[in-house]
Amino acid sequence: MQNKSLNIGILIIGFLTIIAILAPLVSPFDPSVIDQDSLLMPPSLKHFLGTDTLGRDLFSRIVFGARISLGIGLVAVGIATLVGLILGAAAGFYGGRIDGLIMRFVDIMLCFPTFYLILAVAAILGPSIFNIMIIVGLTSWMGVARLVRGEILSLKEREFIQAEKSIGASNLRIIIRHLIPNAIGPVLVSATLGIGGAILLESGLSFLGLGVQPPTPSWGNILIESKSTLGVAWWITVFPGLAILTTILGFNLIAEGLKKKLGG
Amino acid sequence: MILEIKNLTKTFVIERGVFKAEAGLVKALDGVSFSVNEFDTLGIVGESGSGKTTLAKIIINLIPATSGEVVFDNELIKNIRKDVQIVFQNPYNSLNPKMRIAEILSEPLLIHHIVPRPFVKERALELLRLVGLDENVLGRYPIEFSGGQRQRICIARALASQPKFIILDEPISSLDVTIQAQMLDLFLELKQRLRLTYIFVSHNLAVVRHIADSVLVMENGKVVETGSREEIFYSPKHPYTKALLDAARS
């Protein structure tokens, strides 16, 4: 069966990932070298995407920014998925009091407006790439936990789980070898969607100055620098914006394709 | 006696709303007592909803009883998870769809240390041969098999821990009629070869008559009549048993 959206999504994300990994080879300039003679140059043969207010090559900055933005997206979603998987599986499998406790905690976490929570924590802990990965990860696991809990609730009544119990498999074995492999499909879909969300969150944070700190380029903080020159240098706004757009489109296509493929 | 059931009762509480208000009680089992002799097959018959499956699940300790006792002979049954096994009704639901057959069969072998790790695959193959399948099966997934083949795999898994006692919970009722007879022969053959004791749960009287040594008739969670196969089929005493037999004849 042909799965167009999955293929196109993988193509886009694969391409971006390769560029991010090979950033030093791909980018024609050092992303933080200031060139006084070429401030705010429009796109040209020398600078594909133009330069910024300090004369830095925008293409190189976006390429290096991909490392930061994609890295934050992947790690944050990895943390969120892991936490959500563990708590959701525990809630669904054990039920009763443990379930009640975990799900009320989920409700409490969902009550906070996530973005402001992240903003507050980032302001307290100080903005760094590492902090942002952790903060974004620890504030976006609730959806995964709910999803996993639901899947496991319905799976654990199935006869193959009953059969495992009657051959004496331990709870841990049942959860890890039998329940989670059967519940992982929808989790993969939501994780893929989540990466896009995490990249957007990072951009938002960086835009407000609480994300990745200059001179390290991320797509969000390139955008913030463009704010003051929007009227004269459209390229500084448009290209990092396009990078974010393409990435999220790519991940959403993968998610849609996975959903189709896994029959969910 | 390998198993004795004493006055077993199971009540399900129906809860309603956030605060789990008790909305009603369902008596699935009501004072059930019986015993099973070693190497015998006890047939349990009754309509759907008469508590047969609940009884099976309580015997194998998948759900707790409300009151009463399940007593296995300590000499014969040392570990219920190893020495007692169950085969469920629906083979389409009884195998983990994400696992190859080799992995499914290796689970009980590894959990109970039946054979050392390097011999697990060999043992899995022996089990498959025992139920009439061959080595081609090992590397495949459950979805590639028919209902009858899946049920054979379920039986192989149940046999893996070398049990002495197997509960067959409607093991052939979801299979084609043509397959049913083959499966019954397989159960009889395995019983002879491995010296097993069976509880055979079914709503199909003809099947029970073919396989059971003694029969227990259940209605609404109660045992209405017990006896040898001959007693139940040729001189039933309870009106419910007679009605079941009449319904089966017509």
Q: How do residues B126-150 score in pLDDT, each as one tens digit?
A: 999 999 999 899 999 999 999 999 9
- Determine the pLDDT at residue A218: 87
pLDDT single digits (tens) B199-245: 999 988 889 999 999 999 999 999 999 999 999 999 899 999 998 88
Burial A117-129 (b: 16+ CB within 10 A, else e): ebbebbeeeebeb
Lowest mean pLDDT among A105-119, A185-199, A206-220, B63-77: A206-220
Q: Could you tell me if residue A47 is inside a domain?
A: no
Helix axes of A96-111 and A142-155: crossing angle, nearest 10 degrees: 150
- Determine the pLDDT at residue A1: 55
pLDDT band for position A74 (cuts 50, 70, 90): very high
3-class SS string, chain A: CCCHHHHHHHHHHHHHHHHHHCHHHHCCCCCCCCCHHHCCCCCCCCCCCCECCCCCEHHHHHHHHHHHHHHHHHHHHHHHHHHHHHHHHHHHHHCHHHHHHHHHHHHHHHHCCHHHHHHHHHHHHCCCHHHHHHHHHHCCCHHHHHHHHHHHHHHCCCHHHHHHHHCCCCHHHHHHHHHHHHHHHHHHHHHHHHHHHHHHHHHHHHHCCCCCCCCCCCHHHHHHHHHHHCCCCHHHHHHHHHHHHHHHHHHHHHHHHHHHHCCC
Range ranked top by mean pLDDT from A146-155, A207-216, A222-231, B6-15:
A146-155
- Determine the pLDDT at residue A97: 93
> Which residues of B, range 28-57, sit inside 8 Å of A by Cβ?
57
Identify the H or E element spanning B30. strand B21-36
Q: Could you tell me if residue A72 is inside a domain?
A: yes
Nearest chain B alpha carbon to A158: B93
Q: Could you tell me if residue A242 is inside a domain?
A: yes
Could you tell me which residues come within 8 angstroms of residue B224 by beta carbon, excluding any fewer than 6 positions away?
A: B217, B218, B238, B240, B241
Instruction: Collect all residues of chain A within an 8 Å Cβ-Cβ radius of residue B82.
Output: 168
Helix axes of A58-94 and A180-207: crossing angle, nearest 10 degrees: 140
Asked whether the predicted pLDDT for residue A163 surpasses 60, the reply is yes
A21-27: average pLDDT:
85
Q: Could you tell me if residue A111 is inside a domain?
A: yes
pLDDT single digits (tens) B159-178: 999 999 999 999 998 888 88
- The answer to whether A25 touches A37, Cβ cutoff 8 Å, is no
Q: Could you tell me if residue A38 is inside a domain?
A: no
Q: How far is the alpha carbon of A146 from chain B, nearest alpha carbon, in Å?
A: 18
Instruction: Collect all residues of chain A within an 8 Å Cβ-Cβ radius of residue B107.
Output: 164, 167, 169, 177
CATH number at A65 reads 1.10.3720.10
Are A166 and B62 inside 8 Å of each other by CB? yes
Are A168 and B82 inside 8 Å of each other by CB? yes
- For chain A, the residues whose C-beta falls within 8 A of a C-beta of chain B are 158-160, 162-169, 173, 177-178, 181-182
Instruction: Collect all residues of chain B within an 8 Å Cβ-Cβ radius of residue A176.
Output: none
- For chain B, the average pLDDT equals 91
Q: Could you tell me if residue A40 is inside a domain?
A: no
B41-66: average pLDDT:
91
Are A168 and B81 inside 8 Å of each other by CB? yes
Residue-range definition of the domain harbouring residue A248: 4-20+58-261
Residue with tokens 């098999």: B145
B181-198: average pLDDT:
94
Work out how many domains chain A is built from and give that number. 1
Q: Could you tell me if residue A175 is inside a domain?
A: yes
- The answer to whether B81 touches A167, Cβ cutoff 8 Å, is yes
Q: Any CB–CB contact under 8 A between B162 and chain A?
A: no
Instruction: Collect all residues of chain B within an 8 Å Cβ-Cβ radius of residue A156.
Output: none
Nearest chain A alpha carbon to B167: A166
Q: Could you tell me if residue A25 is inside a domain?
A: no
